[in-house]
Amino acid sequence: MKPREVIVVDDHSQDATPEIAWKGGCRVILSEDLPEGWTGKPWGCWQGARRAQGGLFLFLDADTFLEEDGLAKLVSTYLEGKGFSQSSPITGWKSPTSASPRFST
C-alpha cells in the first residue's frame, strides 16, 4: 500500500531534510512562524493537515519508520473500526493494535 501523499513540514531545519524529502517525492511545506499559544509539533501537524488532500492522517517524525506492511496494517486496523492513536513514540513498535484505542469509528 502506498500513501496518497507524503507531506513534510520543514520547521526551519538546519540539515538536508527538505531536499531529501523533495527528492524522495514528498510534498515539502516550509513552516510558517509559530503563532502565540502553539508549540512546534502540533503546529507542524496542523499545517500539514490543512494542506492534505485526504481525510485520514498519519503523523510521523522524520526519524520514524514503518515496517514493510506497516501502513497497510494501520489502515486495516482503522477500517475495521478498532481505531487507534498514539501520542508518544514507541521504540520497536511492530503492531498497530498496540496503540491506545482512544478513537474509533
Residue pLDDT, tens place only, 8-56: 999 888 999 899 999 999 999 999 999 999 998 899 999 999 999 988 8
Q: 46-98: per-residue pLDDT in tens?
A: 999 999 998 888 888 877 888 889 889 888 888 888 776 654 444 444 444 44
Question: Do residues 39 and 57 lie in contact, with contact meaning Cβ atoms separated by under 8 Å?
Answer: no
pTM over 0.75? The answer is no
Question: Cα separation of 84 and 101, whole Å?
Answer: 4
Closest of 71, 76, 75, 81 to residue 104, by C-alpha:
81
